[in-house]
């Protein structure tokens, strides 16, 4: 008992010492910042998960750029980042602490819809804080917003599943596939897109042989793979993540499944290509929301490469970048830094009639100047000229991509007008 007590004491002491060191090393960092005032914004993102950390990194990158351009109202922006652990309880607690203790007027996040939703309904909407998610794609948000429960405080820069599903159906139709089997990730995003794609395909007269749910982290997916395989589809649609995608693809190909594959943006990863093998992926085509054909979009890719020395290939990176930029521009335009006031300005900085501005330092400086003169601007982001509808949703131009030896290359491009027109024909 004595020994364990002293162990305990020394352990606690080490813990406290560590925290003290953390605190001490903070001081030089904060004094190194240029502006003499700071404004806080909050971010709740799954930083302890492999695919979540780059999303947070990109958000911080956007904040750094904005600070370089002069910050919001002359003040540096500090993004207070909290981890969600992909646990709704933890995410909501982090959001609540940011709103109540750090008094942030804007909250970025979360990634999973199952975390973003309770944050929206129990923290940000009641407290009047604007929430902008980079990556939550569930159609449930559209319903909640349409019910008037978000008070116009909710936005997301990730095109809804509706948009992506339509593009998937279009790709399948273009390639003339007559019957399709579907693998979908068994979560809100996967169930949504799987169902929507199946419905769209039926509308287009293409047979869906079966849809199989893929649960996370199974050692083998043989049961699911054989279930789809025995319905003999001509082509395959995959809306799953790389980790499970690798296992599914290996079993699918080893059992002689078709290589005519259409894939969702989640599979656009070098890890997936390397683990499956390029020789099996030559006929795979994927869909993703697309950057617009402007210099500002390639500017994002160039800036990202200069900063991180890699392509922005992970899911949600451009969306995370745009979420930050639009929030900060709206803060710049807002007469006061409250959630409602900022949210009301989002339309003014994403006005299609406004002066186009790009997200690099010079473009941001110009945007800040124009906003100061009371003019509307049209933010040209990494995901395009973002425009929100009344429910805080965005539509987006889309592209088709395929893997090559170096990474990912584009196959074709669908401008925003084409995507919207196609969705209209589908919903008739």
Which listed residue (53, 175, 222, 402) binds other proteins by CB under 8 A?
A: 53
Helix (H) or strand (E) holding 413: strand 408-414
Which listed residue (39, 67, 112, 289) binds other proteins by CB under 8 A?
A: 112
Cβ atoms 221, 248 nearer than 8 A: yes
Residue 37, interface with other proteins (CB under 8 A)? no
Q: Which is nearer to other proteins, 192 or 322 (CB)?
A: 192
Assigned token pair, 302? 């160039």
* End-to-end C-alpha distance for the chain, whole angstroms: 75
Options 24-32, 266-274, 332-340, 416-424: segment touching other proteins (CB under 8 A): 24-32
Which listed residue (121, 151, 179, 376) binds other proteins by CB under 8 A?
A: 121
Residue 360, interface with other proteins (CB under 8 A)? no
Residue 211, interface with other proteins (CB under 8 A)? no
The helix/strand count (H/E) of the chain reads as 16, 15
Cβ atoms 281, 253 nearer than 8 A: no
Cβ atoms 59, 134 nearer than 8 A: yes
Angle at 169 (CA atoms; ends 167, 172), nearest 5 degrees? 110
Size of the site for other proteins (CB under 8 A): 66
Assigned token pair, 262? 């259409």
Which listed residue (47, 210, 258, 294) binds other proteins by CB under 8 A?
A: 47
CB 99 → other proteins: shortest distance, Å?
Answer: 8
Tell me the per-residue interface mask from 71 to 110 with other proteins, x by CB under 8 A, - otherwise: ---------xxxx-xxxxxx-xxx-xx-xxx-x-------
Cβ atoms 261, 284 nearer than 8 A: yes
C-alpha span between 63 and 61 (Å, rounded) = 5
Q: Environment class of residue 122 by beta-carbon count within 10 Å: exposed (0-12), middle (13-18) or buried (19+)? A: middle
Residue 393, interface with other proteins (CB under 8 A)? no
Q: Which is nearer to other proteins, 14 or 204 (CB)?
A: 14
Gyration radius from the chain CA atoms: 23
Q: Environment class of residue 12 by beta-carbon count within 10 Å: exposed (0-12), middle (13-18) or buried (19+)? A: exposed
Alpha-helical segments (H) within 277-390: 295-308, 317-333, 339-349, 361-372
CB 214 → other proteins: shortest distance, Å?
Answer: 12
Residue 34, interface with other proteins (CB under 8 A)? no
Place of tokens 């539509």: 395
Which listed residue (26, 255, 411, 417) binds other proteins by CB under 8 A?
A: 26
Q: Which is nearer to other proteins, 35 or 80 (CB)?
A: 80
CB 357 → other proteins: shortest distance, Å?
Answer: 27
Alpha-carbon torsion 262, 263, 264, 269, what sign? negative
Q: Which is nearer to other proteins, 60 or 179 (CB)?
A: 60
Site for other proteins in 213-232 (CB under 8 A): 213, 215
Options 41-49, 248-256, 283-291, 371-379: segment touching other proteins (CB under 8 A): 41-49
Assigned token pair, 247? 């296992």
The site for other proteins (CB under 8 A) is made up of: 4-5, 7-8, 11-12, 15, 19, 22-23, 25-26, 29, 46-49, 52-53, 56-57, 60, 80-83, 85-90, 92-94, 96-97, 99-101, 103, 112-115, 117-118, 121-122, 126-127, 138-140, 143-144, 147, 149, 186-188, 190-192, 213, 215
């Amino acid at each position: 008992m004595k020994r364990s007590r002293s162990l305990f004491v020394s352990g606690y002491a080490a813990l406290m010492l560590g925290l003290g060191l953390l605190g001490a090393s903070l001081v030089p960092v904060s004094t190194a910042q240029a502006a003499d005032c700071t404004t806080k914004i909050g971010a709740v993102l799954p930083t302890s998960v492999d695919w979540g950390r780059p999303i947070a990194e990109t958000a911080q990158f956007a904040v750094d750029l904005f600070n370089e351009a002069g910050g919001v109202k002359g003040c540096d922006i500090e993004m207070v980042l909290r981890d969600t652990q992909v646990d709704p309880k933890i995410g909501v607690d982090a959001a609540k602490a940011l709103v109540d203790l750090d008094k942030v007027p804007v909250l970025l996040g979360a990634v999973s819809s199952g975390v973003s939703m309770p944050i929206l309904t129990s923290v940000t909407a009641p407290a009047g804080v604007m929430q902008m998610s980079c990556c939550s794609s569930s159609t449930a948000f559209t319903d909640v917003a349409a019910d008037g429960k978000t008070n116009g405080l909710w936005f997301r820069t990730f095109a809804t599943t509706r948009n992506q599903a339509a593009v998937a159906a279009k790709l399948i139709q273009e390639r003339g596939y007559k019957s399709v089997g579907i693998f979908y990730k068994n979560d809100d995003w996967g169930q949504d897109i799987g169902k929507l794609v199946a419905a769209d395909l039926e509308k287009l007269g293409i047979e869906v042989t079966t849809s199989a749910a893929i649960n996370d982290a199974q050692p083998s997916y043989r049961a699911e793979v054989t279930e789809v395989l025995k319905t003999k589809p001509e082509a395959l649609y995959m809306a799953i993540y790389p980790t499970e995608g690798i296992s599914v693809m290996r079993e699918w190909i080893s059992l002689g499944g078709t290589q005519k594959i259409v894939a969702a943006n989640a599979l656009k990863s070098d890890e997936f290509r390397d683990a499956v093998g390029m020789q099996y992926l030559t006929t795979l085509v994927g869909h993703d929301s697309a950057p617009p054909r402007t210099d500002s979009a390639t500017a994002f890719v160039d800036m990202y490469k200069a900063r991180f020395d890699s392509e922005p290939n992970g899911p949600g990176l451009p969306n995370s970048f745009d979420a930050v930029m639009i929030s900060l521009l709206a803060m710049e335009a807002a007469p006061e830094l409250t959630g409602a006031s900022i949210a009301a300005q989002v339309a003014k900085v994403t006005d299609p009639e406004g002066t186009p501005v790009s997200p690099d330092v010079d473009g941001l400086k110009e945007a800040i100047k124009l906003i100061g003169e009371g003019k509307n601007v049209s933010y040209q982001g990494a995901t395009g000229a973002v425009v929100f509808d009344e429910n805080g949703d965005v539509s987006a131009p889309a592209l088709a991509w395929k893997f090559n030896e170096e990474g990912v290359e584009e196959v074709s491009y669908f401008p925003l007008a084409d995507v919207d027109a196609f969705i209209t024909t589908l919903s008739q």
